[in-house]
Structure 1
Amino acid sequence: MKYHLISDNSFFLSGVEWLSELDGHAVELVKLPFDIKGLSISPGDVVVLYISNHRYRTQFMRFCSLQLCRVFILVDVPVFRSVRTYFPWLVNASVSIQDLLSLIRMARITEVKYQSKTRQLRNIFDLITKGASVEDVANCSHLTRDYIYRVTREEVMRYGMADCNRTAMLICRDINLITELSGVSGNKIPVCHS
């Protein structure tokens, strides 16, 4: 198992640059922009993403091996619940290094599972984040506006974010990419006890 801390935030990376090893496992620090093809991420690894630029974040979410990793996403929005049954775990970016390391250690002994998402839900988030209004999404998908408001709010709340704003919608869309690429339905790998 390896730990990867990937960020476009120089201050964050300089705060953890002393961390070359954690509990006997190697730690890789990656400053974006960086060619993601050069990364060696393996199933079961812990990947911490603190990427403010949504284009970079989307690019990493499309990185095919993330669906078998323990993924943390540090976000600049309030998060009221970090640890969940399913990955990825969202963590407020203002978390202390000690608390982040505790969460990483907890993730290491947690089974890797991702919750499957319907194509309909992924399409709703995709359309809204591309600028379509709720009315437009309702018309083209033959759904009610109330349904769209409800499912988007539920999805945002499921990840522990309090506000259903554009940032939260982009984060949910990016998270949904992981399950879309893997075709998971409760995809999981064994817990690493080393």
Structure 2
Amino acid sequence: MNYYFISDNSWFLQGLRKSEADFIQLPLMRDAQFLYIHTDSFFREFNPSPGDVIVLNITNANVFSHIMSHFALVYCRLIIMLPPQLTEKSGGKCLFPVFITDSINIHGLISYMIKAASAPVAFKKASVKEINLFKYVGHGYSVAELSCLMNIHEKSVYQIRRERLMKYGFRTQHPLAFLMSRDILNVSRVST
């Protein structure tokens, strides 16, 4: 099993490298890879194996979307770090992806990674209706348009959106939460 730390924030990766002494204590972490996303060559070099633990700290929604389109992520254990104002809680049940706050300390991060390494790779299930709804939300459809298009009541649109965001642990209905949910639902669609 491999461990990857992937970020578009070089300071985050440098901070982890400075904390490498904490990682060396853990035999599993000695070969952890720290990957900075700054070129398209990253996607040619990134080849995760089934069961790998991947920690994503991506602030750019377009980059996040591009990474989530990688077919191999379906078989990996994803830990996604988000700003505290977006996440309601850290971790929760070990169904993937697991969301944690990006303000977590190094020992807390290591703890989640150890937990993830022993958990089975299982994505949160989603219905076709949820997947389609978030796809259309990502394309900019309004609630009224979604209601007509999907032949459901407007209140149902709000309910489906709210429930899915709550399942992922998002605190608010922030636009970034919708985009991330859409991308994650695309991965879970492949896994079902």
- Which TM-score applies when normalising by structure 1? 0.88
The residue number in structure 1 matching 2:68 is 61
- Let me know the Cα RMSD of the aligned residues: 1.5
| Partner SS state of residue 16, structure 1 | helix
Q: Which stretch has the larger CA shift, 143-152 or 108-117?
A: 108-117
- Which TM-score applies when normalising by structure 2? 0.89
Match of 2:38 among 12, 20, 33: 33
Q: Which has the higher strand share?
A: 1
Unpaired runs of at least 5, structure 1? 185-194
CA contact (8 A) 1:79 1:90 kept: no
Match of 1:90 among 88, 91, 99: 99
Unpaired runs of at least 5, structure 2? none
- The AA in structure 1 aligned to 2:165 is V
| Partner SS state of residue 157, structure 1 | helix
Distance (Å, rounded) in 2 between the aligned partners of 1:28 and 1:153? 35
- The AA in structure 2 aligned to 1:119 is V
The residue number in structure 1 matching 2:129 is 120
Aligned residues: 183
- The AA in structure 2 aligned to 1:174 is D
- The AA in structure 1 aligned to 2:132 is N
The residue number in structure 2 matching 1:165 is 174
Q: Which stretch has the larger CA shift, 111-120 or 78-87?
A: 78-87
Distance (Å, rounded) in 1 between the aligned partners of 2:65 and 2:135? 12
The alpha carbon displacement at 1:179 in A equals 1.3
The residue number in structure 1 matching 2:56 is 49
Match of 1:149 among 140, 158, 169: 158
CA contact (8 A) 1:5 1:49 kept: yes
The one-character-per-residue Cα deviations of 1:70-120 (angstroms, maximum 9, x if unpaired) are: 101111223324122410001111111111111101111111111232222
- The AA in structure 2 aligned to 1:52 is T
Distance (Å, rounded) in 1 between the aligned partners of 2:145 and 2:126? 22
CA contact (8 A) 1:71 1:89 kept: yes
The alpha carbon displacement at 1:147 in A equals 0.5
| Partner SS state of residue 100, structure 2 | strand
The alpha carbon displacement at 1:14 in A equals 0.9
The alpha carbon displacement at 1:176 in A equals 0.6
Q: Which stretch has the larger CA shift, 96-105 or 17-26?
A: 17-26
The residue number in structure 1 matching 2:112 is 103
Distance (Å, rounded) in 1 between the aligned partners of 2:182 and 2:79? 15
Distance (Å, rounded) in 2 between the aligned partners of 1:49 and 1:9? 10
Distance (Å, rounded) in 1 between the aligned partners of 2:8 and 2:168? 22
CA contact (8 A) 2:90 2:101 kept: no
Change (3 A) 1:50 1:22: farther
- The AA in structure 2 aligned to 1:24 is P
The alpha carbon displacement at 1:168 in A equals 1.2
The residue number in structure 2 matching 1:23 is 26
Match of 2:184 among 175, 179, 189: 175
The one-character-per-residue Cα deviations of 1:7-47 (angstroms, maximum 9, x if unpaired) are: 00111111101437572231001101243121121001000
